[in-house]
Structure 1
Amino acid sequence: MASARDPLSSEVIALFAKITTRYSREYEAAAAQHDITPQQVKVLLALDETPLPMRRIAERVGAEPSNLTGVIDRLQARGLVERRPDPNDRRVKLLATTDDGKAAAQDLQQRLRFASDPLVALGRDQRRELRDLLRLMADS
């Protein structure tokens, strides 16, 4: 069993850090172009053409719905998203991008070249093998 002290493990850990840093920096740079936060970018990109309840957005971005309230409030204040009543349940508010929000999301997607598909250099079999190895790591 390899330890974090062996050179190969150290190199793999350093590569994880490099990938994470590249991903984060790309989100930060894209967000700065629109004067929003990386979390706000993730919310905008999580919204598709269909309005969604906050809990669905939270699932997509890996956050608690209550933690997204402020993020959504700031996006709404900027005119990028709007809250709409759910026609099936008036207790629920649906979130939707405005025209400005859709334009920002399209621009953000173009700026997030690496972050939108960090596995582009890998073939299908390589992706599957990587997935299996990461599952093994996550479950250990």
Structure 2
Amino acid sequence: MPDPSDELAREIVGLFAAVNRRYTQESEAAAAAHDLTPLQAKALLAAETPLPTRRIAERLHAEPSNVTVIIDRLESRGLVERGPDETDRRVKRVTATAAGHAVAADLRARMPFAGDPLARLGTPQREALRDLLQLILET
């Protein structure tokens, strides 16, 4: 007889996969509508607020050198611009242009799930989910 906990584990892993698949499909379709890669779209969304490239890399979970190429492509399309940081002239901040803000707004409209996959969860539920995921990763 199969162990019921094994079936539950398979169901949970399947749900993780379904959430990931829905997030990926929605974000890829939104990016493709603007001839962007999903990482370019995510970088553009991050640049709605001026940020150093290093911070954008953190949000993308990518190396800063790889993000530089992504920012170069967005800049060549007029979606972002680089400028000096007010507090540290060695740092360049990336900021969405007016065209970039318009594309970002459309990306958000096309990604109701990917934009906030936890929207239906309240703060206590989000905290519990975070704690459970951290527990899984610790093992």
TM-score (norm 1): 0.88
- What is the distance in 2 between the residues matched to 1:81 and 1:60? 17
Normalised to the residue count of structure 2, the TM-score between the two structures is 0.89
- Give the aligned partner of residue 72 of structure 1: 71
Identity of aligned residues (%): 57
Cα deviation for residue 120 of structure 1 reads: 1.9
1:106-125 to structure 2, matched below 5 A, reads 106-125=105-124
Post-superposition CA distance 1:21-42 (Å, at most 9, x none): 1000111000011100000111
Deviation at residue 63 of structure 1 after TM alignment: 1.5
**Residue 101 of structure 1 corresponds to which residue in structure 2?**
100
Give secondary structure in 1 for the equivalent of 2:89: strand
Between the two proteins, the alignment pairs up a number of residues equal to 136
Q: CA RMSD in A?
A: 1.7
2:31 match: 31
Aligned-residue offset at 1:12: 0.7
Aligned residue runs from structure 1 range 1-140, under 5 A:
6-49=6-49, 51-140=50-139
Tell me how far apart the structure 1 counterparts of residues 8 and 130 of structure 2 sit (CA, whole Å): 19
Residue segments in structure 1 that go unaligned for 5+ positions in a row: none
Unaligned runs of 5+ in 2: none
**Cα distance, 1:87 vs structure 2:** 4.2
Measured in 1, the distance between the counterparts of 2:7 and 2:19 equals 18
After TM superposition, the runs of 4+ consecutive aligned structure 1 residues lying more than 6 A away are none
Q: 1:129 to 1:85 in 2, by over 3 A?
A: closer
Classify the secondary structure of the residue corresponding to 1:91: coil
